[in-house]
Structure 1
Amino acid sequence: MYQSKYNIIQNSKNKVIVYNTFSGGIISLNQEEFSVLNGIEKDAYDSNNKHALLYDELLRGNFIETEYGEQLNKLKFESYYSRYSKNEISLTIAPTTNCNFRCPYCYEKGIKYEDMSDEVVKNVIDFINSQNTDVINICWYGGEPLLEIDTIEKIIKGIRKDGLTINNSIVTNGYLLDGCVRDKLKELNILNIQITIDGPEFIHDKRRFRFDGGKTFRAIIENITHLCKDAHISLRVNVDKTNIGYIDNLMEYLEKEGILDNVHIYLAPVDDINMSLPNSDDLYINYDENDFTLKQKDFLKRMLLKNGDDIFEERNPYLCGAVSPHSLLIDPLGDLYKCWNDIGRKEYKIGNIKDGVVESDKLYKWLSYDPFRDEECINCSVFPICLNGCPYSVIRKNKKICDSNKNNYKELLTTFL
């Protein structure tokens, strides 16, 4: 037997906490038990061994493996299977690239505003109905997709549903989620919703304002209040050095409003994807240990104390839809892309919804992406939940960005000591 390379260990005089990123398991050991774990490679498994029950528990939580490398091999299998098996298809559909906000850090800056025509709507419906699959995952995207809620309805109602499971989600700024739209989303079964709030009111309204400069915070909060008990809402907080000091203020406000317990909240560093931000010195794009990761650690500590071990991520073998042949992004013109960051940028399109995908190097770069060829990464303790990081960063920028929690999890485990 061998100790898992995906164990993160926090040690004290009397107790050791071990978190395994492969299984998501957390175990508390005394020093004698920890010495057994550390010496596991020297001992053969024996059911009569006095430590047999401990061995069984360590195996159950994947803190040890029976054959060296079996966890890595399973990660490979899960990743390749999820990418290339055709039991489900994932589509990101942008019915519009228009938006009612003018956020200064928007990576879609410079993209021409387009809405989906009736012809493209028909082509999208025909494309979906032509798929031989049991499951279709649709993420409605933009621009602001709720500007074209009627288009979304047309497409969903045009899909033949015999024997087909459809999972809908939506990425929205939340401003248009009034009573009528909320009712429409419930009717269409779009109840997995991502909304962005960038801090308390006076911070958010400086960063996420309407096209006419108008404020948005209060309307979004009111909409979330009405919807959060009926839908699964993820609150994304885009952070840079100018607003990260106000996260606690936002959390306290959401708790006071009765929202915090009914949403999932997470931080996302602002990245200058298209090199268009004038104040790039304010960004956390390098995930410097003394910058974003330390700030995120404070945030996660608070969430850990509030929610227990829910902050620890589970491995997701799917990695990213951009590297799967069964995942596509459809823009309002019906053009096809692999990555959300490429939407509307014609030089990166890989085909059109009517004519299909065109085989080219632009496509092969995504489909041949292999997170398992980086020796340093596959031996990293957080690899099962990171899988080499964002493929876009590697493919477009030739830059590997490590999981921001790489240096946080060990210290977060002190909470259990």
Structure 2
Amino acid sequence: MKKSIFNISQSIENGILLYNTFTTSLVELSEELYKTIFVKDDFSLPEVSSLYNMGFLVDDTHDEIKAMENIRCDVVKNSSEKIANIIIAPTLECNAHCFYCFENGYRKGRMTQETADALVAFLEEHWNGKKLGITWFGGEPLLASDIIDYISKKLTEKKIVYGCKITTNGSLFDKDIVKKAINLWHVEKVQITIDAVGDEYNRIKNYDKQYKDVFSLVMQNIQNALLQGINLKIRINFDPNKQNKALEIMNYLLERFDNSTHLKIYFAPIDADDEIVKNISNEFEEYEEHPYISLIKFGRKHHLYRGFPDMEDDTSADHEYDAHGLLKKLKIYPSPINCYATCPNVFSIAPNGDIYKCHRALGRKEYASGNVKTGIEENAAYKFFCNTRLTYEECKVCPILPICQGGCKINAQFYSGKEACAPSKAIIKDLILLYREDISK
């Protein structure tokens, strides 16, 4: 018998709190009992049987890393080859110029009707026959709203059932677009990114010169969309070194829109690791509390959400050991794969029709896996995503491996640090304490 490598322990007021990231078991032990079993490796005590059943102890012959690999392999092997969801960028052009944008240097092109026709034919061939989920992405997708019109009409003509989401900066989401979104595009949700309030927002977004006071314009567009019943998510992009700014933005939005039932707000750390923005996977020793956990606690204090706010409206089926979604909302529930792009039936489409596994790679030709006109190519780029390999060597000894399954492959390529790691990694012990608090209630 041996200790599971997926155990996470921490001191609490009456002893030791122990959590296993694979089985999701949580137990409180006296310090003496913990030391006897997990430090001195004395497995003769009667409590050992229960700890074994909960996954804190495993057989000597059990290879936990291999077990995780087998889970990932099963998911990929058993995934349908037909498409259920797809991300489409009708343009990579954008009217804003955010300094942190991962598409900087890759914004070019606008989809033609010829490519749109090829895309519809591609979907007709590869669609799984159920409701197709489309996410309109960019650039700023509303700069090509006419192409969205065209594709939407073609899909309807082909009797392809679909619903869509839009990721937009909100500057062009006016009353006419909202009307089309409802009546033609079958929009189910819209996500708008807000980085700051007032003039600071205008400075960060750095819109094209013809746009004046875009912050006020976006706020008005949001107000109108909410009045029309659009389900809207506001993503607050924040610099981890400036978490007070994120709280300021949230307070402003809640007051401005009176906590509308159609509005969800969530925080997202900016993906970078340089002198400008420190990556969220860092420890942040200069703070008394990690910036991400402080934002989560702020939300809980004000009854906005119980965990990571982007998980609050997840409507997927409850899991066997997480009937109330507590673990999932805190992002400490095990996952069978690291990312949707691992599955062979998930794609993103660039304006020129190129096929990508990951939307964050759009426009970077070296990551393309074919084109809608010529079909999917299982080339090196395709295999880079569709595999079960771990991102870092240290993943093999990381206790949160069951949660992230190796993390984000594309972030590991784009950045030099540990950006592939799950955002919960640096605050895992704090999240376990919040889970303990939740289940105690």
Whether these two folds match at TM > 0.5 is yes
Cα deviation for residue 37 of structure 1 reads 12
Partner of 2:348: 329
Please say if residues 171 and 193 of structure 1, whose CA atoms lie closer than 8 Å, have aligned partners that are also in contact: yes
Which residue identity lines up with residue 391 of structure 1 in the other structure?
A: K
Partner of 1:183: 179
Pair 1:205 & 2:202 matched: yes
Partner of 1:12: 12
Shift in CA distance, 33/217, structure 1 to aligned 2, threshold 3 Å: farther
Partner of 2:284: 290
Please say if residues 269 and 285 of structure 1, whose CA atoms lie closer than 8 Å, have aligned partners that are also in contact: yes
Partner of 2:134: 138
Partner of 2:313: none
Shift in CA distance, 131/10, structure 1 to aligned 2, threshold 3 Å: same
Structure 2 unmatched ranges of 5 or more: 308-325
1:239-250 residue pairs with structure 2 within 5 A? Answer: 239-240=238-239, 243-250=242-249
Structure 1 unmatched ranges of 5 or more: 273-279
Aligned length: 401
Partner of 2:110: 115
Whole-Å separation in 1 of the counterparts to 2:156 and 2:68 = 35
Please say if residues 10 and 414 of structure 1, whose CA atoms lie closer than 8 Å, have aligned partners that are also in contact: no
**1:67-97, CA deviations, whole angstroms, 9 ceiling, x for partnerless residues?**
9859766654553344341164242211112
1:59-138 residue pairs with structure 2 within 5 A? Answer: 59=54, 75-84=68-77, 85-86=79-80, 88-89=82-83, 90-111=85-106, 113-131=108-126, 133-135=128-130, 136-138=132-134
Partner of 2:234: 235
Please say if residues 235 and 268 of structure 2, whose CA atoms lie closer than 8 Å, have aligned partners that are also in contact: yes
Please say if residues 366 and 381 of structure 2, whose CA atoms lie closer than 8 Å, have aligned partners that are also in contact: no
Q: Which moved more, 1:93-102 or 1:320-329?
A: 320-329
Please say if residues 177 and 223 of structure 1, whose CA atoms lie closer than 8 Å, have aligned partners that are also in contact: yes
Q: TM-score, normalised by structure 1?
A: 0.78
Shift in CA distance, 158/73, structure 1 to aligned 2, threshold 3 Å: farther
Secondary structure of the residue aligned to 2:430 is helix
Please say if residues 369 and 391 of structure 1, whose CA atoms lie closer than 8 Å, have aligned partners that are also in contact: no
Secondary structure of the residue aligned to 1:175 is coil
Shift in CA distance, 131/266, structure 1 to aligned 2, threshold 3 Å: same
Whole-Å separation in 2 of the counterparts to 1:78 and 1:161 = 40
Whole-Å separation in 2 of the counterparts to 1:29 and 1:241 = 32
Which residue identity lines up with residue 185 of structure 1 in the other structure?
A: A
Secondary structure of the residue aligned to 1:111 is coil
**1:9-47, CA deviations, whole angstroms, 9 ceiling, x for partnerless residues?**
443233765555446x575747499869967x97799xx
Pair 1:352 & 2:371 matched: yes
Shift in CA distance, 408/81, structure 1 to aligned 2, threshold 3 Å: same
Cα deviation for residue 248 of structure 1 reads 1.7
Identity of aligned residues (%): 25
Pair 1:253 & 2:268 matched: no
Whole-Å separation in 1 of the counterparts to 2:279 and 2:156 = 43
RMSD (Å) for aligned C-alpha atoms: 4.1
**1:251-289, CA deviations, whole angstroms, 9 ceiling, x for partnerless residues?**
2222323248731402222427xxxxxxx5112148431
Shift in CA distance, 117/281, structure 1 to aligned 2, threshold 3 Å: same
Cα deviation for residue 6 of structure 1 reads 3.5
